Chain A
Amino acid sequence: MCVVCGCGDGKTTIEGEAHVHDHDHDLARTHTHADGTTHSHAGGPAGAQHDGPEHHHEHEHDHDHDHDHDHDHDHDHDHGGHGDDHLHSHARAPSGTPQVPGRDAQVMALETAILGKNQLLAERNRGWLAGRKVLALNLMSSPGAGKTTLLERCIGDLKGQVEISVVEGDQATANDADRIRASGAAAVQVNTGSGCHLEADMLGRAMKVLEPPRGSLLVIENVGNLVCPALFDLGENARVVIFSVTEGEDKPLKYPHMFSSADVLLLSKTDLLPHLRVDLARMADNALALNPKLKIFPVSAYTGEGLDAWYGWLRGELAEVAP
């Protein structure tokens, strides 16, 4: 949240990103000159004339106000953002089909993908990542499936072999990014505020703060949620869903979009299996009914069981992205 005006409530915040205002702070400015004189200027928009009362500078100094205005005006004109969706404006004759009766109206066939803007930004991220030869994985699961715990384990196990950086998505707190940093990897926390998923724009901003090195692995830990993250392409190379063995065999059928759009399924917490009455084969089969190409790795972040196979897949993907 902005300490000056409190803006940003409920909005996305990205740790480490320069704070950009799209408004003026209409506050009185006080400053001290080199000779020790302190005075204030009347408030007004940036660049306003000094025409306040009694403002006579009778001492010699140059007005070298060192205001470091780091206003990053990122004008994002997405004129090309329609993809295949062209705008056709048809000024129809009054007899035209589905018009609101009794009004002189104009109908436009848009055929615009509602998620088109996100898709465009995702493709931009994809290009950015490919140019840097970075493998990006979008890690998704319900809350508490063990995303962060598994990541901590991976970072420790692959230390010195694979450089890992992490974008942490949560509605609030930097707890997860702190945990990742404590385990030895670079991390940036994205707080989505009221948002229930990460979007391509958020990843784009977070990546620029994080600057993942060439040939490294970037893990995007999405907001814990099996619904919305499935709809938003971030520009990742692959989607990895973590599904803990305590979650019930029919969960893939309850949240089909998440499982049908995934590339890898990590069946986590397998160390708990002796205490559960769960049919692992049925669990896997339900996921495969939605997505037969899904690669399934049963793993335990506590015992390390099954992790080698998962690391093998990771190394293979890394070799493809950064030979």
Chain B
Amino acid sequence: MHELGITRSVVSIVGEHAQGRKVLRVTLEVGRLSGLLAESIRFCFDVCAQGTPVQGATLQIVDVEGRGHCSACGAEPELAAPLARCPVCHEPTLRVVAGTELKIKEMETESCV
């Protein structure tokens, strides 16, 4: 359940940027290879937001699929785990190019305090 701590960070970062304004929406980008479950973040969000300027805000999570690039055969397979061995040519030349994202993309607040 490290998602609880992560969600707390989200609420605290967003709260800081809100500068007293009420937060209406928070958009996160969570890659499938980030080691975090979007569902768990969702589960924790309302609890963490309670009593903060983020309370009641809509949580949007942009899901990013995992993708690798193989420098040997050029394949760009979809990945469910951060593999280094290419599932196509079996060389250890695969690099993860997408799916490790873990960031707050955007937030929306009321215009005035």
In the assembled complex, A85 has its CB within 8 A of some CB on chain B: yes
Q: Chain A residues near B107: list those with CB within 8 A.
A: 107-108, 110
| Interface check B5, CB cutoff 8 A | yes
Contact among B102, B110, B111 for A114, CB-based, below 8 A: B102
Knowing A260-B82, A289-B85, the reply to whether A100 touches B103 (Cβ < 8 A) is no
Instruction: List the count of A-B residue pairs having beta carbons below 8 Å apart.
Output: 105
The answer to the question of A318 belonging to the interface, with a C-beta cut-off of 8 Å to chain B, is: no
- Interface footprint category on B: 35 or more
Q: Which residue of B lies closest to A92 (CB)?
A: B108
Q: Is A28 an interface residue when CB atoms closer than 8 A count as contact?
A: no
- How many residues on the A side are at the interface (Cβ–Cβ under 8 A)? 36
Q: Determine whether A154 belongs to the interface, using a CB cutoff of 8 Å to chain B.
A: no
Assess the B35–A290 pair: CB atoms within 8 A.
no
* Contact A108 to B17, CB < 8 A, known contacts A103-B110, A292-B92: yes
Interface residues of A in 65-117 (CB under 8 A from B): 85, 87, 91, 98-100, 103-115, 117
Residues of A within 8 A of B (CB): 85, 87, 91, 98-100, 103-115, 117, 195-197, 227-228, 230-231, 253, 256-257, 260, 288-292
Counting from the closest, the 9 A-B pairs by CB-CB distance are A292-B92, A228-B2, A256-B81, A289-B85, A260-B82, A100-B24, A104-B111, A257-B35, A110-B104
**Which residue of B10, B25, B27, B35 has the most chain A CB atoms within 10 A of its CB atom?**
B35
Alpha-carbon gap, A292 to B91, bound state (A): 10
A110 to B92, CA, bound (A): 35
The reply to whether the CB of B49 lies closer than 8 angstroms to some CB of chain A is no
A227 to chain B: which residues have CB within 8 Å? 2, 35
Please list 15 pairs of residues, one from A and one from B, whose beta carbons are closer than 8 Å in the complex, sorted by A's number: A91-B111, A99-B25, A103-B110, A104-B112, A105-B110, A107-B106, A111-B104, A114-B28, A197-B2, A227-B2, A257-B35, A257-B82, A260-B81, A288-B92, A292-B85
A282→B103 CA distance, assembly (Å): 36
Extra pairs beyond A256-B83, A290-B85 (5, CB < 8 Å)? A91-B111, A98-B106, A100-B24, A114-B13, A195-B5
From known contacts A257-B35, A260-B84, infer whether A110 and B24 are also in contact, taking CB-CB under 8 Å.
no
CB distance from B98 to the nearest CB of A (A): 15
Give the docked Cα–Cα distance between A87 and B104 (Å): 11
B93 CB, nearest partner CB in chain A, Å: 8
Do A110 and B2 contact each other (CB < 8 Å), given the known contacts A230-B35, A290-B84? no
B103 pairs with A114, CB closer than 8 A: yes
Q: How far is the CA of A228 from the CA of B4 in the complex (A)?
A: 11
Interface string of B70-105 (1 = CB under 8 A from A): 000000000001111100000010000000001111
